[in-house]
Amino acid sequence: MSDIKNLKQYSKASERFEGANLLCPGCAHGIIVREVLNATNYPLLVAASTGCLEVSTAVYPYTSWDVPWIHIGFENSSTAIAGAEAMYKALKRKGRLYNDKEPKFVAFGGDGSTYDIGFQFISGCFERGHDFTYVCLDNEVYANTGGQRSGSTPIGASTTTTPAGRISYGKKDKKKDLLFIMAAHGSPYVAQVAPNKWKDMSKKIKTAIETEGPTFINAMSACTTEWRFPANQTIEMSDLAVDSLVFPLYEIINGRELRITYRPKNVIPVRDYLGAQARFKHLFKKENEHIIEQWQKNVDEYWEYLQRREEAKV
């Protein structure tokens, strides 16, 4: 297979995901999906869970997908693609394939469908070892249904079901550490990516897709509508997330070997990231400042932990 495409090659690549879709202006979902579909030249079979991506890209009688694509429900894009992958194996063995193309299989889900309702399905697929890549579009909220909390929503975020109010600072619980959970399934490859670091993202996606077995990509997907920042600042928001280490970029190979793939030269304070989004606005009130401190502490500790894991190679 060819190496990672450079920007020029990207711009010339055939569009497997059309720009004609109904995602909000500035939505990172589209950027990530386009990159996933362009990361390899393999023919792809794609499944998507119910969520912003699905409702914005396949509204009958239109479709934004120039690849075979299926949506079943909110929770089961992983199992849908696993079924398709099983069919591929069966037809190949029986000599009944429709052409001699060697496809790869990809499932997309929002964080709601990944961290919460679809988690059992993904876990099952990973345990059974289906050969596919699961990509979570992690916008830390149920965006499609109007901004409810998910298992990925971080502490202190105001969502429609954990609203900040006179006596509440928003979500009380921390974000689920999904990458480690997926790595613990023994997956050959799991990684976190962010669209501002597009080379890193592209490389990881390519690795995930081309690695045999179930692989997992958690993609930070800034949501202008629910995080509440101007639509032209999606990539800046992503910069703030990775440079503050709120969203560290790393990969875990075979469930063991951890590699940090991006180390910010100047780490910026978490409050800069939080301050840029209206979902955290209330944290800057005096009575909630301790949550920002807590945030910073959590991020520092986690970074320390990642570094130690990397050094120890376990």
Q: Which member of 20, 90, 231, 267 binds other proteins (CB under 8 A)? A: 90
24 binds other proteins (CB under 8 A): no
Half-sphere exposure of 301 (CA within 13 A, CB side): 6
Span of 116-124, 229-237, 249-257, 274-282 interacting with other proteins by CB under 8 A: 116-124
Candidates 52, 81, 136, 182; binder of ligand SF4 (CB under 6 A) is 52
Rule CB under 6 A: is residue 23 a binding residue for ligand SF4?
yes
Using CB distances below 5 to 8 A depending on partner kind, what does residue 65 bind out of ligand SF4, ligand TPP, other proteins, none? other proteins
Q: Which residue has the CB atom at the shortest distance from ligand TPP?
A: 110
CA 286 to chain centre: 33
Smallest gap from residue 279 Cβ to ligand TPP (A): 13
Of the listed pieces 31-39, 95-103, 228-236, 289-297, which binds other proteins according to CB under 8 A?
95-103
3-state secondary structure of 44: strand
| 26 lies in the binding site for ligand TPP (CB under 6 A) | no
Give the torsion sign (CA, 180, 196, 208, 74). Answer: positive
Q: Which does 291 bind (CB under 5 to 8 A by kind): other proteins, ligand SF4, ligand TPP, none?
A: none
Nearest approach in angstroms of CB 124 to other proteins is: 3
Distance CA 151, CA 142 (A): 10
Among 23, 32, 45, 190, binds other proteins (CB under 8 A): 45
170 and 164 in contact (C-beta within 8 Å)? yes
Selected binder of ligand TPP within 57, 76, 144, 238 (CB under 6 A): 144
Is 143 a residue that touches ligand TPP (CB under 6 A)? yes
SS (H, E, C) 191-253: EEECCCCHHHHHHHHHHHHHCCCCEEEEEECCCHHHHHCCHHHHHHHHHHHHHCCCCCCEEEE
Cβ neighbours of residue 70 closer than 8 Å, sequence gap 6 or more: 45, 46, 47, 48, 77, 80, 81, 84
Pick from 8, 12, 19, 101: which binds other proteins (CB under 8 A)?
A: 101
Judged by CB, which is closer to ligand TPP: 194, or 258?
Answer: 194
Q: Contact between 215 and ligand SF4 (CB under 6 A)?
A: no
Q: CA–CA distance from 39 to each of 110, 141, 156, 202, 222 (Å)? A: 20, 26, 35, 6, 20
Closest CA to 23 of 66, 60, 74, 59: 59
* Segment contacting ligand SF4 by CB under 6 A, of 1-9, 19-27, 177-185, 198-206: 19-27
Distance CA 165, CA 170 (A): 7
Confirm or reject binding of residue 113 to ligand TPP (CB under 6 A). Answer: yes
What residue ranges bind ligand SF4 (CB under 6 A)?
23-24, 27, 29, 52, 56, 139, 143, 223-226
